[in-house]
Amino acid sequence: MRSLLDEVSNLDFLEYIYSIVRFGGKHLVKNDLSEHNTEIILELIDKLKERKEDSEYYESVYSECRNEICKILKEINYSPNMKKRNLIKVSNGTSRLPSFVKILLYIMMYRSIELYENAKDKKSCIKPTQKAMLGYISSSYNYNGQIIDGYKLDKKIFSEFSISPVKLYDINHYTQIKVPMKYAGAKTYYLGYCINYLSEFAKSHKTFVDLFGGSGSASIAATQSTKVKCIINEFDYFNINYYRVLADDRLYRGYVNTLQEFINVIKDKLEQTPDTVVEFGRDVFMMCKDIKDKYNERLGIVDTKFFDKIISFNDYSFENDEDEYKIDLAIAYTYIHSFTVTGGKHEKGGVNKSSLQRFCKCDFNELEKLHLKFKRINQFRNCDVLSLENEFIIEDLCKNNNNKVLFYSDSPYLNTAGYDSGGIDKDRMQVLICKLLNTSKLGNKFIFSCRASKSVEDSTYSKLSEIFGRLESIERDSDGRVILDTSKDYDSGSYTSNNKPFYIVPNGQMNKMLATLKENQEIYENIFKVFRELSKEYKQTLYVLVCVDMKSIEKECNFKKISMNNNDMLKMMLQRLFTLEVFITNYDYVEPLEYRYFLTGESKKTKQHYKFIKYEMVEFCELLEQYLFRSDLYLDYKVKKFGDVYRFIKK
């Protein structure tokens, strides 16, 4: 007879549901069903997993599921030990209810939600509820000419799984709001999905605190329960003003009206004076930059209102000029963060005709969703979390929220460009990590996001591969550090990658690789090793969620034609300098299902596919030590040209 564990190991979704049960602290009882009944339930689950557009098919399957559940319960004489048994309409409990029946009920509910959400015409459908599902099981039905009574099951059946089918569906199908602006390090798409997912598993927290607000993406992705208080902290007042405008109904309406007028001006320029529109757009960018700088320097309201130079105001009746000024600041923020250049920096060089056209296609429906999310944020704070002198914000928030806090930390990365407030040095990073682990001792929880390794761009990696051969095959010393051949000559010339010729200048690429190796070493030493050592000292178990870009892996190693386990996949990513995004938590969770979405570009849709791997911190650090493409052996070298060749030489 097939056992439950045998089955869940072969069926991904069953394994996932089983993990949800275990996460809730529940244990599936020993399977007390006959082999025949077990086979029937597994066949029904397979039928539920089918992808068909025929509604009659599912009506038939659900009827079959209900009939078999009632038949099985009658066969095993299901009757839980309960008080008031003599009463006719008493709700059955969950005692003695077979595990396979519980799982079938859960999947029935989950699948019904999925079918409803994917229905082409929802008006003709009734939205499924857990109460209705249990009512369906309790209803009488005709079976071979006989009227059979159903079983009235307790609603605790679904709560036993820790996360209800409705909530599980929501977090598995979460879609991040499309924020119209670009922001370095913004947690959108699959990263927003991870934050939403992980925050659900934090449980019991009453306050969510985004320590480094940035674009606000993390706060709008976190579970938006009305019972959870949400606080955003941000060092830059320019961002704080933007949050407040979006959160306030009156200011937001003024912002939307002004933004629409502003977009109309750009559209007119694009149509009437296309030859000068880029110059105009760059002038506007510099004026936005100027108003931002003056605001951040606390120089007060500028004498000449910024947008009077661009458009005239006719229909505004705000209480005072400062409200109008706040809206101008929010428009300036929106405009600046619509144009980026290399490294995520917002510079006027990012303003061109195509980027101005994208700016004019602002999705106001998505902006409205963003407004509704920001309205739910309870407090905006302005504090430098990374200041060595300022040690109160985390402790203060814990004290005032009764140690029921979930902190989210997405600090500027080590050695990262693109942040207006700069990066973070190793001393301040260690202070931040210590603060998080200290508050963890009090019962608070945290999510810490970062990169496990920085990468060179994909195109640069392809060029390096042509020069050095596969990076993982480079010689290493006894400690596993990479040895770069400093005596080898590398000629400048033409190479081929992916059947496309390119010309390479070795000195620039080699120096860039040396810099990347050094940065990866620093990330490992100053983040992951610190977390590992302090967690041992504090006797805390930390978990790491690794985000794997399956599309890049399939492209790089023809993954579809070979079998690769999770560790091999991670090994390859580390060796080949893939950018590796991770989340660190001080609490357990169930590894998320794979995530797919379409990224819409100017002319085509790109399908994105991500897989997630969960490790304990100690295990993850061991893998980094073994496979991370890093070196501290020849970092004192630089590349210099001798005639027609390039060589590594001592600095």
CA 418 from chain center: how many Å? 20
458, pLDDT greater than 50 = no
Which tens digits make up the pLDDT trace of 546-581?
999 888 777 766 655 556 788 888 887 887 677 889
Identify which of 38-47, 148-157, 321-330 has the greatest average pLDDT. 38-47
What integer pLDDT is reported at residue 534 of this predicted model? 92
Residues 287 and 354 in one domain: yes
What integer pLDDT is reported at residue 599 of this predicted model? 66
- Considering only 6-10, 458-462, 463-467, which range has the smallest mean pLDDT? 6-10
Q: Which residue has the higher pLDDT, 273 or 502?
A: 273
Interacting residues of 145 by C-beta distance below 8 A, sequence separation 6+: none
Which tens digits make up the pLDDT trace of 565-621?
888 888 878 876 778 899 999 999 999 988 887 766 554 567 788 899 999 999 999
SS3 599: strand
564 within a domain of the structure (yes/no): yes
127 within a domain of the structure (yes/no): yes
26 within a domain of the structure (yes/no): yes
571 within a domain of the structure (yes/no): yes
What integer pLDDT is reported at residue 1 of this predicted model? 36
DSSP string, 139-201: S-EEETTEEE----B-THHHHTTSS-HHHHHHHHT------SS--TT---THHHHHHHHHHHH
What integer pLDDT is reported at residue 555 of this predicted model? 72
Query: What's the residue count for the chain?
Result: 651
What integer pLDDT is reported at residue 437 of this predicted model? 92
What integer pLDDT is reported at residue 463 of this predicted model? 52
Interacting residues of 603 by C-beta distance below 8 A, sequence separation 6+: none
Residue 291 CA to residue 297 CA, distance in Å, equals: 10
Look at residues 1, 2, 4 and name the one whose alpha carbon lies nearest to residue 99. Answer: 4
Residues 149 and 271 in one domain: no
What integer pLDDT is reported at residue 87 of this predicted model? 42
Predicted confidence band of residue 630 (pLDDT cuts 50, 70, 90): low
What integer pLDDT is reported at residue 83 of this predicted model? 46
Residue 36 CA to residue 38 CA, distance in Å, equals: 5
Identify which of 154-163, 186-195, 363-372, 595-604 has the greatest average pLDDT. 363-372
Average pLDDT over residues 61-75: 90
627 within a domain of the structure (yes/no): yes
Which tens digits make up the pLDDT trace of 518-532?
777 788 889 999 999
Tokens of 619: 């295990």
DSSP string, 351-375: --HHHHHHHTT--HHHHHHHHHHHH
Contact yes or no for 458/633 (Cβ under 8 A): no
Residues 427 and 555 in one domain: yes
Domain boundary among 153, 172, 191: 172
622, pLDDT greater than 80 = yes
503, pLDDT greater than 50 = no
- Considering only 74-83, 236-245, 259-268, which range has the smallest mean pLDDT? 74-83
- Could you tell me the residue range of the domain that residue 308 belongs to? 236-380
Q: Which residue has the higher pLDDT, 315 or 17?
A: 17
Interacting residues of 249 by C-beta distance below 8 A, sequence separation 6+: 375
Residues 295 and 419 in one domain: no
Q: Which residue has the higher pLDDT, 533 or 19?
A: 533
Residues 363 and 402 in one domain: no
Which tens digits make up the pLDDT trace of 391-400?
567 887 887 7
Average pLDDT over residues 61-80: 86
Average pLDDT over residues 67-92: 66
Residue 482 CA to residue 185 CA, distance in Å, equals: 29
Give the predicted TM-score (pTM) of the model. 0.82
Q: Which residue has the higher pLDDT, 595 or 468?
A: 595
Average pLDDT over residues 319-343: 78
SS3 29: coil
What integer pLDDT is reported at residue 614 of this predicted model? 95
CA quadruple 492, 497, 499, 501: dihedral sign: negative
Domain boundary among 149, 172, 195: 172
Which tens digits make up the pLDDT trace of 412-430?
766 544 344 456 778 888 8
Predicted confidence band of residue 9 (pLDDT cuts 50, 70, 90): very low
Q: Are strands 229-233 and 207-210 parallel, antiparallel or unpaired?
A: parallel
Q: Which helix (H) or strand (E) holds 282?
A: helix 277-296
Q: Which residue has the higher pLDDT, 379 or 553?
A: 379
Residues 545 and 574 in one domain: yes
Residues 426 and 573 in one domain: yes
Mean pLDDT of the chain: 76
What is the count of structural domains for the chain? 3
Residues 242 and 329 in one domain: yes
Residues 255 and 324 in one domain: yes
Residues 368 and 421 in one domain: no
Residues 282 and 418 in one domain: no
Residues 279 and 350 in one domain: yes
Q: Report the 3 state secondary structure along 217-278.
A: HHHHHCCCCCCCEEEEECCCHHHHHHHHHHHCHHHHHHHHHHHHHHHHHHHHHHHHCCCCHH
Q: Are strands 229-233 and 493-497 parallel, antiparallel or unpaired?
A: unpaired
39 within a domain of the structure (yes/no): yes
459 within a domain of the structure (yes/no): no
CA 248 from chain center: how many Å? 27
Residue 488 CA to residue 628 CA, distance in Å, equals: 23
456, pLDDT greater than 60 = no
CB atoms within 10 A of CB 60: 12
117 within a domain of the structure (yes/no): yes
Domain boundary among 337, 352, 380: 380
Interacting residues of 129 by C-beta distance below 8 A, sequence separation 6+: 166
241, pLDDT greater than 70 = yes
Residue in the structure block whose two tokens are 């992705």: 221
Q: Which residue has the higher pLDDT, 622 or 627?
A: 622
Predicted confidence band of residue 88 (pLDDT cuts 50, 70, 90): very low
CB atoms within 10 A of CB 104: 22
pLDDT above 90 covers a percentage of the chain that reads: 20
